[in-house]
Structure 1
Amino acid sequence: MKAPSTLPRPRTRTEHLLLPVQPSFIWITLFVAWLINLLPWGQVGGVPDVLAICLVFWSVHEPRRVGMLAAFCFGLLMDVHGAARLGEHALSYTLLSFFAILLHRRLAWFSPWSQALHVLPLFFFSEFIVLLLRGWLDGTWPGWWWALNCVVAALLWPIAGWILQAPQRRPVDPDDTRPI
Protein backbone atom coordinates (compact mmCIF):
# COMPACT_ATOMS: atom_id res chain seq x y z
CA MET A 1 0.00 0.00 0.00
CA LYS A 2 1.27 3.43 -0.94
CA ALA A 3 1.17 6.31 1.47
CA PRO A 4 -0.87 9.27 0.25
CA SER A 5 1.20 12.04 -1.21
CA THR A 6 1.56 15.10 0.98
CA LEU A 7 2.69 17.33 -1.85
CA PRO A 8 0.26 20.12 -2.68
CA ARG A 9 -1.52 19.97 -5.98
CA PRO A 10 -0.41 22.50 -8.57
CA ARG A 11 -2.71 25.43 -9.04
CA THR A 12 -4.57 25.64 -12.30
CA ARG A 13 -4.95 29.40 -12.15
CA THR A 14 -2.49 31.93 -10.85
CA GLU A 15 -3.85 34.18 -8.18
CA HIS A 16 -2.11 37.41 -7.39
CA LEU A 17 -2.23 39.23 -4.11
CA LEU A 18 -3.30 42.78 -4.71
CA LEU A 19 -1.87 45.85 -3.04
CA PRO A 20 -4.36 48.18 -1.35
CA VAL A 21 -5.96 50.58 -3.77
CA GLN A 22 -5.20 54.27 -3.43
CA PRO A 23 -8.38 56.34 -2.87
CA SER A 24 -7.09 58.98 -5.27
CA PHE A 25 -6.85 56.34 -8.01
CA ILE A 26 -10.50 55.35 -7.44
CA TRP A 27 -11.76 58.91 -7.77
CA ILE A 28 -9.51 59.67 -10.74
CA THR A 29 -10.86 56.63 -12.60
CA LEU A 30 -14.44 57.63 -11.80
CA PHE A 31 -13.76 61.17 -13.00
CA VAL A 32 -12.16 59.91 -16.24
CA ALA A 33 -15.10 57.53 -16.79
CA TRP A 34 -17.47 60.47 -16.30
CA LEU A 35 -15.51 62.48 -18.86
CA ILE A 36 -15.70 59.57 -21.31
CA ASN A 37 -19.47 59.48 -20.81
CA LEU A 38 -19.63 63.17 -21.71
CA LEU A 39 -18.37 62.43 -25.21
CA PRO A 40 -21.10 62.60 -27.90
CA TRP A 41 -20.91 58.92 -28.89
CA GLY A 42 -23.45 57.94 -26.19
CA GLN A 43 -26.32 58.22 -28.65
CA VAL A 44 -24.89 55.43 -30.82
CA GLY A 45 -26.22 51.93 -30.18
CA GLY A 46 -23.78 49.44 -28.73
CA VAL A 47 -21.72 52.01 -26.80
CA PRO A 48 -21.75 51.08 -23.11
CA ASP A 49 -22.01 53.41 -20.17
CA VAL A 50 -18.38 53.55 -19.05
CA LEU A 51 -19.25 55.36 -15.83
CA ALA A 52 -21.72 52.62 -14.91
CA ILE A 53 -19.08 49.94 -15.47
CA CYS A 54 -16.59 51.85 -13.34
CA LEU A 55 -19.14 52.50 -10.57
CA VAL A 56 -20.14 48.84 -10.44
CA PHE A 57 -16.50 47.74 -10.43
CA TRP A 58 -15.56 49.98 -7.52
CA SER A 59 -18.79 49.18 -5.67
CA VAL A 60 -17.86 45.51 -5.90
CA HIS A 61 -14.19 45.85 -5.03
CA GLU A 62 -14.27 48.83 -2.66
CA PRO A 63 -17.82 49.08 -1.23
CA ARG A 64 -16.72 51.19 1.73
CA ARG A 65 -15.20 53.88 -0.45
CA VAL A 66 -17.56 53.98 -3.43
CA GLY A 67 -21.18 53.48 -2.58
CA MET A 68 -24.64 54.67 -3.36
CA LEU A 69 -23.93 58.31 -2.53
CA ALA A 70 -21.16 58.51 -5.12
CA ALA A 71 -23.40 56.74 -7.64
CA PHE A 72 -26.24 59.16 -6.92
CA CYS A 73 -23.98 62.22 -7.33
CA PHE A 74 -22.51 60.97 -10.60
CA GLY A 75 -26.04 60.16 -11.76
CA LEU A 76 -27.13 63.73 -11.09
CA LEU A 77 -24.12 64.98 -13.05
CA MET A 78 -25.12 62.78 -15.99
CA ASP A 79 -28.74 63.97 -15.76
CA VAL A 80 -27.64 67.59 -15.87
CA HIS A 81 -25.30 66.93 -18.77
CA GLY A 82 -27.86 65.02 -20.83
CA ALA A 83 -30.73 67.40 -20.02
CA ALA A 84 -32.69 64.37 -18.86
CA ARG A 85 -35.26 64.36 -16.12
CA LEU A 86 -33.45 65.01 -12.91
CA GLY A 87 -32.99 61.62 -11.31
CA GLU A 88 -33.07 59.14 -14.21
CA HIS A 89 -29.36 58.36 -14.19
CA ALA A 90 -29.20 58.95 -10.45
CA LEU A 91 -31.80 56.21 -9.93
CA SER A 92 -30.04 53.92 -12.38
CA TYR A 93 -26.58 54.34 -10.87
CA THR A 94 -27.87 54.09 -7.31
CA LEU A 95 -29.64 50.81 -8.11
CA LEU A 96 -26.51 49.53 -9.83
CA SER A 97 -24.38 50.40 -6.84
CA PHE A 98 -26.84 48.88 -4.37
CA PHE A 99 -27.03 45.54 -6.16
CA ALA A 100 -23.27 45.52 -6.78
CA ILE A 101 -22.67 45.98 -3.06
CA LEU A 102 -25.08 43.12 -2.39
CA LEU A 103 -23.08 40.87 -4.72
CA HIS A 104 -19.58 42.01 -3.82
CA ARG A 105 -18.68 39.04 -1.61
CA ARG A 106 -20.09 36.54 -4.09
CA LEU A 107 -18.34 38.01 -7.12
CA ALA A 108 -14.91 37.74 -5.52
CA TRP A 109 -14.99 33.96 -5.92
CA PHE A 110 -15.56 33.92 -9.67
CA SER A 111 -13.36 34.44 -12.68
CA PRO A 112 -13.76 37.71 -14.60
CA TRP A 113 -15.95 36.10 -17.29
CA SER A 114 -18.21 34.54 -14.68
CA GLN A 115 -18.39 37.91 -12.96
CA ALA A 116 -19.49 39.40 -16.28
CA LEU A 117 -22.38 36.94 -16.37
CA HIS A 118 -23.37 37.97 -12.84
CA VAL A 119 -23.12 41.68 -13.63
CA LEU A 120 -25.11 41.47 -16.89
CA PRO A 121 -28.52 41.34 -15.13
CA LEU A 122 -27.54 44.39 -13.08
CA PHE A 123 -26.93 46.41 -16.21
CA PHE A 124 -30.18 45.15 -17.76
CA PHE A 125 -32.24 45.91 -14.66
CA SER A 126 -30.92 49.42 -14.12
CA GLU A 127 -31.33 50.38 -17.77
CA PHE A 128 -34.78 48.79 -17.94
CA ILE A 129 -35.99 50.76 -14.91
CA VAL A 130 -34.90 54.03 -16.52
CA LEU A 131 -36.51 53.13 -19.85
CA LEU A 132 -39.69 52.02 -18.11
CA LEU A 133 -39.85 55.32 -16.26
CA ARG A 134 -39.13 57.26 -19.45
CA GLY A 135 -41.74 55.24 -21.37
CA TRP A 136 -44.35 55.82 -18.69
CA LEU A 137 -43.79 59.58 -18.60
CA ASP A 138 -43.20 60.17 -22.32
CA GLY A 139 -45.30 57.39 -23.79
CA THR A 140 -42.43 56.22 -25.99
CA TRP A 141 -40.44 53.01 -26.18
CA PRO A 142 -36.97 53.07 -27.78
CA GLY A 143 -37.06 49.45 -28.88
CA TRP A 144 -34.65 46.79 -27.76
CA TRP A 145 -31.41 48.34 -29.00
CA TRP A 146 -30.61 49.46 -25.46
CA ALA A 147 -30.00 45.80 -24.55
CA LEU A 148 -26.96 45.81 -26.82
CA ASN A 149 -25.36 48.44 -24.56
CA CYS A 150 -25.86 46.14 -21.55
CA VAL A 151 -24.30 43.16 -23.32
CA VAL A 152 -21.31 45.21 -24.46
CA ALA A 153 -20.89 46.54 -20.90
CA ALA A 154 -20.84 42.98 -19.55
CA LEU A 155 -18.34 41.94 -22.22
CA LEU A 156 -16.09 44.84 -21.22
CA TRP A 157 -16.19 43.82 -17.54
CA PRO A 158 -13.03 41.62 -17.63
CA ILE A 159 -11.11 44.29 -19.54
CA ALA A 160 -12.22 46.96 -17.08
CA GLY A 161 -11.18 44.75 -14.19
CA TRP A 162 -7.77 44.18 -15.69
CA ILE A 163 -7.25 47.91 -16.31
CA LEU A 164 -8.60 49.12 -12.95
CA GLN A 165 -6.61 46.57 -10.94
CA ALA A 166 -3.34 47.07 -12.83
CA PRO A 167 -1.76 49.44 -10.25
CA GLN A 168 -2.58 47.02 -7.44
CA ARG A 169 -0.84 43.94 -8.84
CA ARG A 170 2.26 42.78 -7.08
CA PRO A 171 5.26 41.73 -9.14
CA VAL A 172 5.28 38.03 -9.94
CA ASP A 173 8.99 37.54 -9.28
CA PRO A 174 9.99 38.01 -5.64
CA ASP A 175 12.92 40.28 -4.88
CA ASP A 176 14.88 40.28 -1.62
CA THR A 177 15.42 44.02 -1.71
CA ARG A 178 11.74 44.87 -2.15
CA PRO A 179 9.76 44.96 1.16
CA ILE A 180 6.48 43.80 -0.41
Structure 2
Amino acid sequence: MHESSRTTRVLQPPRLRFILSTLALAFFWDLIPKGGGGFWPEMTMAVLTFWALRDPQRVGVGAAFTLGVMLDVGRGAALGQEALAFVWVVYLAQRRAARILWFGAWGQALLLLPLWSLALALQAAVRLVAGGDWPGWGYFGSAVTLVLLWPILSHGLLWPQWRAARAGGSASLS
Protein backbone atom coordinates (compact mmCIF):
# COMPACT_ATOMS: atom_id res chain seq x y z
CA MET A 1 0.00 0.00 0.00
CA HIS A 2 1.46 3.34 -1.06
CA GLU A 3 0.74 6.27 1.24
CA SER A 4 1.19 9.77 -0.12
CA SER A 5 1.24 11.43 3.29
CA ARG A 6 4.35 13.39 4.14
CA THR A 7 4.59 11.63 7.50
CA THR A 8 5.15 8.22 5.91
CA ARG A 9 8.02 9.23 3.65
CA VAL A 10 11.53 8.18 4.50
CA LEU A 11 14.07 10.36 2.75
CA GLN A 12 17.12 8.83 1.18
CA PRO A 13 20.42 10.45 2.17
CA PRO A 14 21.42 13.20 -0.24
CA ARG A 15 24.31 12.56 -2.57
CA LEU A 16 27.37 14.70 -1.96
CA ARG A 17 27.44 15.58 -5.65
CA PHE A 18 23.91 16.97 -5.38
CA ILE A 19 24.76 19.02 -2.28
CA LEU A 20 27.86 20.48 -3.94
CA SER A 21 26.06 21.26 -7.19
CA THR A 22 23.22 23.08 -5.41
CA LEU A 23 25.71 25.11 -3.39
CA ALA A 24 27.66 25.92 -6.57
CA LEU A 25 24.51 27.01 -8.42
CA ALA A 26 23.49 29.24 -5.52
CA PHE A 27 27.02 30.66 -5.32
CA PHE A 28 27.07 31.55 -9.02
CA TRP A 29 23.57 33.04 -8.75
CA ASP A 30 24.85 35.37 -6.05
CA LEU A 31 27.84 36.39 -8.19
CA ILE A 32 25.55 37.74 -10.93
CA PRO A 33 25.38 41.54 -10.64
CA LYS A 34 21.82 42.59 -9.87
CA GLY A 35 20.66 46.15 -10.03
CA GLY A 36 17.70 47.74 -8.38
CA GLY A 37 16.38 47.15 -4.88
CA GLY A 38 17.52 44.73 -2.29
CA PHE A 39 14.84 42.14 -2.87
CA TRP A 40 17.14 39.76 -4.70
CA PRO A 41 17.45 36.62 -2.58
CA GLU A 42 20.77 35.57 -1.08
CA MET A 43 20.56 32.06 -2.52
CA THR A 44 23.87 30.87 -1.09
CA MET A 45 22.64 31.73 2.39
CA ALA A 46 19.34 29.92 1.79
CA VAL A 47 20.91 26.76 0.35
CA LEU A 48 23.54 26.75 3.12
CA THR A 49 20.76 27.04 5.67
CA PHE A 50 18.84 24.18 4.09
CA TRP A 51 21.81 21.81 4.04
CA ALA A 52 22.93 22.88 7.51
CA LEU A 53 19.49 21.84 8.76
CA ARG A 54 19.16 18.66 6.71
CA ASP A 55 22.74 17.35 6.58
CA PRO A 56 24.81 19.02 9.32
CA GLN A 57 27.59 16.43 9.09
CA ARG A 58 28.47 17.55 5.57
CA VAL A 59 27.54 21.22 5.59
CA GLY A 60 28.54 23.17 8.64
CA VAL A 61 30.39 26.22 9.80
CA GLY A 62 33.50 25.37 7.74
CA ALA A 63 31.54 25.21 4.50
CA ALA A 64 29.75 28.45 5.42
CA PHE A 65 33.04 30.23 6.09
CA THR A 66 34.63 28.96 2.87
CA LEU A 67 31.67 29.93 0.69
CA GLY A 68 31.41 33.28 2.46
CA VAL A 69 35.05 34.18 1.82
CA MET A 70 34.75 33.04 -1.81
CA LEU A 71 31.64 35.20 -2.24
CA ASP A 72 33.39 38.17 -0.62
CA VAL A 73 36.26 37.82 -3.06
CA GLY A 74 33.92 37.26 -6.01
CA ARG A 75 31.85 40.34 -5.22
CA GLY A 76 34.77 42.51 -4.19
CA ALA A 77 33.13 43.10 -0.81
CA ALA A 78 34.76 43.68 2.55
CA LEU A 79 36.56 40.45 3.35
CA GLY A 80 34.63 38.57 6.00
CA GLN A 81 31.28 40.26 5.40
CA GLU A 82 29.54 37.25 3.87
CA ALA A 83 31.66 34.74 5.81
CA LEU A 84 30.63 36.14 9.18
CA ALA A 85 26.97 36.23 8.20
CA PHE A 86 26.98 32.69 6.77
CA VAL A 87 28.79 31.24 9.79
CA TRP A 88 26.32 32.90 12.12
CA VAL A 89 23.27 31.65 10.18
CA VAL A 90 24.59 28.08 9.93
CA TYR A 91 25.56 27.99 13.60
CA LEU A 92 22.16 29.24 14.79
CA ALA A 93 20.24 27.07 12.34
CA GLN A 94 22.07 23.94 13.48
CA ARG A 95 21.51 24.81 17.15
CA ARG A 96 17.78 25.15 16.50
CA ALA A 97 17.41 22.45 13.84
CA ALA A 98 15.19 20.15 15.90
CA ARG A 99 12.70 22.97 16.50
CA ILE A 100 12.86 24.38 12.99
CA LEU A 101 12.38 21.04 11.23
CA TRP A 102 9.34 20.28 13.36
CA PHE A 103 7.32 22.78 11.32
CA GLY A 104 6.26 22.75 7.69
CA ALA A 105 7.95 24.85 5.05
CA TRP A 106 6.10 28.09 5.87
CA GLY A 107 6.71 27.69 9.59
CA GLN A 108 10.38 27.01 8.92
CA ALA A 109 10.58 30.12 6.76
CA LEU A 110 9.11 32.28 9.51
CA LEU A 111 11.50 30.81 12.07
CA LEU A 112 14.44 31.43 9.75
CA LEU A 113 13.45 35.05 9.01
CA PRO A 114 15.16 36.44 12.14
CA LEU A 115 18.34 34.47 11.37
CA TRP A 116 18.48 35.78 7.81
CA SER A 117 17.66 39.33 8.93
CA LEU A 118 20.42 39.18 11.53
CA ALA A 119 22.85 37.91 8.88
CA LEU A 120 22.00 40.83 6.62
CA ALA A 121 22.42 43.23 9.54
CA LEU A 122 25.87 41.73 10.22
CA GLN A 123 26.81 42.21 6.57
CA ALA A 124 25.68 45.82 6.68
CA ALA A 125 27.59 46.41 9.93
CA VAL A 126 30.81 44.97 8.49
CA ARG A 127 30.32 47.13 5.41
CA LEU A 128 29.91 50.24 7.57
CA VAL A 129 32.96 49.40 9.71
CA ALA A 130 35.01 48.92 6.54
CA GLY A 131 34.06 52.42 5.40
CA GLY A 132 31.24 51.54 3.05
CA ASP A 133 27.83 53.13 2.70
CA TRP A 134 24.61 52.11 4.42
CA PRO A 135 22.80 49.83 1.95
CA GLY A 136 19.38 51.18 2.88
CA TRP A 137 16.40 49.45 4.44
CA GLY A 138 15.50 47.80 1.14
CA TYR A 139 18.57 45.65 1.60
CA PHE A 140 16.66 43.63 4.20
CA GLY A 141 14.03 42.79 1.60
CA SER A 142 16.24 39.86 0.66
CA ALA A 143 15.20 38.11 3.89
CA VAL A 144 11.53 38.57 3.01
CA THR A 145 12.17 37.19 -0.46
CA LEU A 146 13.89 34.15 1.08
CA VAL A 147 10.84 33.55 3.27
CA LEU A 148 8.61 33.57 0.20
CA LEU A 149 10.97 31.27 -1.73
CA TRP A 150 11.71 28.83 1.11
CA PRO A 151 8.75 26.45 0.51
CA ILE A 152 9.67 26.11 -3.18
CA LEU A 153 13.39 25.85 -2.45
CA SER A 154 13.04 23.29 0.32
CA HIS A 155 10.66 21.14 -1.72
CA GLY A 156 12.97 21.31 -4.74
CA LEU A 157 16.03 20.34 -2.69
CA LEU A 158 14.18 17.46 -1.00
CA TRP A 159 12.68 16.12 -4.23
CA PRO A 160 15.67 13.95 -5.29
CA GLN A 161 15.71 12.32 -1.87
CA TRP A 162 12.24 10.92 -2.47
CA ARG A 163 13.51 8.84 -5.42
CA ALA A 164 13.03 5.43 -3.74
CA ALA A 165 9.44 6.24 -2.80
CA ARG A 166 8.67 7.33 -6.37
CA ALA A 167 10.40 4.29 -7.84
CA GLY A 168 8.29 1.93 -5.73
CA GLY A 169 11.10 1.15 -3.33
CA SER A 170 10.70 0.49 0.37
CA ALA A 171 10.92 4.11 1.43
CA SER A 172 7.60 4.09 3.24
CA LEU A 173 6.97 3.44 6.91
CA SER A 174 3.76 1.54 6.19
TM range (shorter): 0.7 to 0.9
Contact 2:37 2:138 in 1 (8 A): no
Q: Displacement of 1:120 after TM fit?
A: 0.4
2:51 pairs with 1:58: yes
Segments of structure 2 that go 5 or more residues without pairing to the other structure are: none
Contact 1:17 1:170 in 2 (8 A): no
Alpha-carbon shift at residue 171 of structure 1 (Å)? 5.7
Between stretches 52-61 and 33-42, larger displacement belongs to: 33-42
Contact 2:124–2:134 under 8 Å retained in 1: yes
Equivalent runs, 1:67-78 vs 2, <5 Å: 67-78=60-71
The runs of 5 or more residues in structure 1 that have no matched partner are 1-10
The corresponding residue for 1:4 is: none
CA distance in 2, matches of 1:63, 1:142: 32
Structure label with greater radius of gyration: 1
- What is the SS of the residue equivalent to 1:17? coil
Does 2:121 match 1:128? Answer: yes
**Of residues 26, 36, 40 in structure 1, which corresponds to 2:33?**
40
Identity %: 34
Q: Using the alignment, how far apart are the partners of 2:37 and 2:109 within structure 1?
A: 22
Please identify which structure carries the higher helix content. 2
2:64 and 2:87 in contact (8 A); partners too: yes
Which residue of structure 1 lines up, in the alignment, with residue 83 of structure 2? 90
With over 3 angstroms needed to count, the CA separation of the structure-2 counterparts of 1:50 and 1:73, relative to structure 1, is same
Q: How many pairs are equivalent?
A: 167
Q: Hey, what does 1:137 align to over in structure 2?
A: 130
Runs of 4+ in 1 over 4 A off after TM superposition: 170-175
Which structure has more RCO (C-alpha within 8 Å, separation ≥ 6)?
Answer: 2
